[in-house]
Structure 1
Amino acid sequence: MAVRSVVVNTLDVERAVAFYRDLLDARLIGEATRHGADLDLVTATLHLRALGARGKASTWDPDDLQRGFRHIGLKVDRVDPYAERLADAGVPFHLKPLDAVGGVRITFFYDPDGTLLELVEGDVQYSDVLDAEAVAAERALGPPERPRFDHVALTVADAQAAGERYRPLGFRPAGALEQPQDSRGFRITYLHASGPGVLEVFTYSAQTHLRRPQLEAPGFQAVVLTESVESLDGFTEMCGSWELDRLGLDGLALYIDDDGLIVGVER
Structure 2
Amino acid sequence: MPIKNVVVNCTDVARSVEFYTRFLELSVAGEVTSERAVLDAVTATVELRAVGNGREQSTWSPDDLQKGFRHIGFKVDRIDERAAVLKDAGVEFKLDPLDAEGNVRICFFYDPDGTLLEMIQGDLQYAEILDADGVARERALGVPARPRFDHVAVTIEDREATSAYYDRNYGFSFIGTIEQPHDKRGFHIGYLKGGDTVLEVFTYEVDKSARAPQLDVAGFAYAELVGDPPDLPAETAPDGTKVYVDSDGFAFAVGSEA
Give TM-score, length-normalised by structure 1. Answer: 0.92
Contact in 2 for aligned 1:73/1:150 (Cα 8 Å)? yes
Q: Following the alignment from structure 1 to structure 2, what is the Cα–Cα distance between the partners of residues 249 and 201?
A: 28
Q: Following the alignment from structure 2 to structure 1, what is the Cα–Cα distance between the partners of residues 248 and 152?
A: 14
Structure 1 residue 29, shift from structure 2 partner: 1.1
The CA deviation string for residues 52-74 of structure 1, in whole angstroms up to 9 with x for no partner, is: 36876111000000000000000
Contact in 1 for aligned 2:159/2:201 (Cα 8 Å)? yes
Contact in 1 for aligned 2:55/2:114 (Cα 8 Å)? no
Contact in 1 for aligned 2:105/2:122 (Cα 8 Å)? yes
In angstroms, what is the RMSD of aligned CA positions? 1.5
1:170-189 pair list within 5 angstroms: 170-189=171-190
Contact in 1 for aligned 2:53/2:216 (Cα 8 Å)? no
Q: Following the alignment from structure 1 to structure 2, what is the Cα–Cα distance between the partners of residues 261 and 209?
A: 13
User: What letter is aligned with 1:266?
Assistant: G
1:119-158 pair list within 5 angstroms: 119-158=119-158
Q: Structure 1: which 4+ aligned runs deviate by more than 2 Å?
A: 52-56
User: What letter is aligned with 2:253?
Assistant: G
Structure 1 residue 3, shift from structure 2 partner: 1.1
1:197 equivalenced with 2:161 (yes/no): no
Which ranges in structure 1 are unaligned for 5 or more consecutive residues? none
Structure 1 residue 200, shift from structure 2 partner: 0.1
Structure 1 residue 100, shift from structure 2 partner: 0.3
Match of 1:248 in 2: 239
Percent identity over the alignment?
52
- Which one of 226, 245, 251 corresponds to residue 262 of structure 1? 251
Give TM-score, length-normalised by structure 2. Answer: 0.95
Match of 1:65 in 2: 65
Q: Following the alignment from structure 2 to structure 1, what is the Cα–Cα distance between the partners of residues 56 and 90?
A: 24
The CA deviation string for residues 163-201 of structure 1, in whole angstroms up to 9 with x for no partner, is: 1221111111000111011110000010001x1210000
Which ranges in structure 2 are unaligned for 5 or more consecutive residues? none
Contact in 2 for aligned 1:171/1:192 (Cα 8 Å)? yes
Q: Following the alignment from structure 2 to structure 1, what is the Cα–Cα distance between the partners of residues 225 and 53?
A: 29
